[in-house]
A and B are shown apart, each in its own frame.
Chain A
Amino acid sequence: MSRKQILFVFVLFLSMVTMSSALFAAEKEVKIGVLYPLSGAAATIGRDLQRAAELTAEIINNKTPGVDIPMAQWGGIPNLGGAKIKLIFVDHRGEPDRGADLAKRLILDDKVAGLMGAYHSSVTKTVSAVAERYGVPMINDSSTSPELTKRGFKWFWRTTPHDDYFNRDLFELLKGLTEGKVKGIPAVPKDKLKNLAYACENTEWGSSVAKSLEGYAKEYGFNMVKGILYNANSPDLTSEAKTLVAAKPDGMLFASYLSDSLLMIRTLKGMRAQTNFFWGQNAGFEMADFAKTLGADINGVLTRTVFIAKLIKVKKVAGQINALYKKKYGDDLTGATARSVVGVQAWAAVLNKAGSVDPKAIQKACNEINIPANELVMPWAGVKFDSTGQNVLGRGLIGQYQKGADGKIDLEIVYPFDLATANFIYPFPGWK
């Protein structure tokens, strides 16, 4: 080795030492605090949300072949010098005050660039209040209480459509039914659908769904003949079910968690309740256990959702990410987990647009972001926030449980009409 070479190596070494901090900076991470219910009553769903978020971060951080979106080829956030997204998960157990304390920890101790979560609308309320107070951006991926984006917050954005969208979807579907727009059946006279009744669980979520359903019923000219709020933890729902049946509605609408949705349907079946259709506001009605437990009984039951495995037929990206998720964890993506995917995607896009972890820059990026539809796993028109922070391009689906030729119960899309994957079953075929 000549002297020159030695000198060269030496200089290289020196420059590396001095540059190492800069190099290190280039390899740095962007921390995002994620609050999910990882223990307590909602731990199952919390775990799934965490998995979906982790998977998405992996796809963005490493160049992932086979996923046809630009983000999957980034290998980190390009405009941040390839910085990796690091998700810090914390467990709020569904308790609003615990969520607030943890949000402070994430903001002040872990110095995260932003927050994501928190699934429960009640926890999202306290967490976003903390974020607002400290001026740290929060992107909410999965809380659907309409009020969250009606508070005039400057640091809060929500990717998922909220319950008002979903409830309006139901009435659009009903309107479509009367106009003969629904796939596979002729128009239904309105007086066969006019009288509706709902039973909603009486926490924050169910009671706001109830309020919104009443509003839309009036707007669309339907008649809400009965509405009850009930305690999801009730040991018995007989009297609730009896109240519903006694009102003789044309359709029964529910906002129920898993346990009470099972009990409610079983109780109604026990009473041989007759009505033209059943509709569930997601949650319990959409979970895999609902179909697994009730089997053929729910042939014809409707549920609002945002993502159905059948979507992979019409959306390529959804199929690719779903395949990765299924390979890793053995399940299909669901409405909840797919939203978690979009939440992380939104964060990545926002960070890239901001090109900085400065809160002000992120705030500006959030307000200007426009993620095109083809990059999302969701059947949405994209992600674009209005002045309240709500994504205006999201939309919901309505699925119907249908018994396939093989006797298995599957969720088919019946709304929006352009995405319908099967003929609509109407009226409710009756109990087996």
Chain B
Amino acid sequence: MEKVKDALDFTDFSGVERFVLVVFSIFLLAFPWLGAGSFVKAVMIQFLLFSLFGMGWNTIGGYGGQVELGKAQYVGIGAYTVSVSMVWWNIPFWISMPIGVLIALGYSFMIGYPLFRLKGHYFAIATICTSLVLQDIFTNWKLVGAAKGIELPIHEHPDFLYMQFKSDTYYYYFIMVLFYIALFYMNWFRKSKLGYQLRMIKDDEEAAESLGIDIRWCKIKAYSIASAFVAVGGGFMAVYNLYIDPVSVMDLDLSIKIALMAMLGGAASLWGPIIGAAFLVPLDRFLGSWLGGHKGLIGVDFMIYAALIMVVSAYQPRGIWGIVEQLRGKGK
């Protein structure tokens, strides 16, 4: 109970932040009724999905300060578990998704244990390598469709058990619920014992160790939490797109996108990943679809995207949220 109270307690934020949160929540709730087109709706779903990913990444990457670049493998685990169990055994989404999360958790402990012997850049590159290895395995694993991926059967009638709906609005509300669960969880997490320990580790590992904190164990726990978050998102991707393949759910690009959005918005802050996703997802989708038709402008959208990343990382390493705080005179 205490935990739930903590999770719902936003009182340590400023009035403005709380006001924005309320307005934003009302907007999210009302969004499908505002008459936006379906493409905008699809972009909103992407935005919520990537916020979810980013918030997950934030546990280990933001609060823990570990450069984690292999989250796509857990997206893949979540997505593949849901798809495989639906195609082979006709298991409903609501059972297969938790199983996917459990597998992701188990796998993350297994791999996290050796992984967290490493520090800094060795760790960063090792996370990329493990993700690439898993992707290669799935690309060649005939049982799960290898490179061809898996197609989920389309149900003729909407089916809540299998999360199959005709209208995107249902998917929208579903991912919105997940988004809020993640947000409340993160709100609790940042105030939890583990949250404090992680920040201490990030600031000074030796000092944290001398205080009797089991550094490796803390990191593994944070890593696993992040993996669980991401696996949920992966399960959602499977039922939403109805088709997955190793490139779309396990690619290095996806790992980097996840970390990038959280970083750009502002790592180690509750709002950071959301802000990052709110910037990059629409930029990617709208600019891309607008410029895509214009010959001669191929690549310009990504140049703008890249320039934004460069400017923010050079100007304010704490991301867009850092800039906001700086403007409000709160930053260093």
Contacts and interface: CB of A to CB of B under 8 A. Distances in A.
Interface of A: 38-39, 43, 47, 89-91, 93, 95-98, 100-102, 104-105, 107-109, 122, 125-126, 129, 132-134, 145, 147, 151, 202-204, 206-208, 229
A117 to B, nearest CB: 13
A96 B166 contact: no
15 contacts: A38-B292, A97-B237, A102-B39, A108-B38, A125-B149, A125-B243, A126-B242, A129-B151, A151-B151, A202-B139, A203-B245, A204-B147, A204-B149, A207-B146, A229-B147
Nearest to A46: B292
Interface of B: 37-39, 41-43, 46, 139-140, 146-149, 151, 154, 166, 168, 237, 241-243, 245, 247-248, 285, 288-289, 291-293, 295, 298-299
B135 to A, nearest CB: 11
A122 B292 contact: no
B292 A90 contact: yes
Given A43-B298, A105-B39, A202-B146, A97 B248 contact: yes
A104 B248 CA distance: 18
Contacts of A93: 288, 292
A132 B38 contact: no
Nearest to B248: A96
A59 to B, nearest CB: 21
A363 B66 CA distance: 54
Contacts of A204: 147-149, 245
A47 B295 contact: yes
A147 B150 CA distance: 11
A262 B42 CA distance: 39
Interface SS of B by simple majority:
helix
Nearest to A207: B147
A370 B148 CA distance: 32
A108 B247 contact: no
B285 A101 contact: yes
B166 A133 contact: yes
A43 B294 CA distance: 12
A132 B154 CA distance: 8
Taking each of B149, B248, B292, B298, which has the highest tally of chain A beta carbons within 10 Å of its own beta carbon?
Answer: B292
Contacts of A95: 248
B65 to A, nearest CB: 31
Nearest to B41: A104
A39 B294 CA distance: 10
Residue among B241, B285, B291 with the highest chain A CB neighbour number at 10 A: B241
Contacts of B166: 133-134
In the complex, the 6 A-B pairs of residues with the closest C-beta atoms, listed nearest first: A91-B292, A105-B39, A108-B38, A101-B42, A109-B37, A104-B38
A95 B291 CA distance: 16
A227 to B, nearest CB: 12
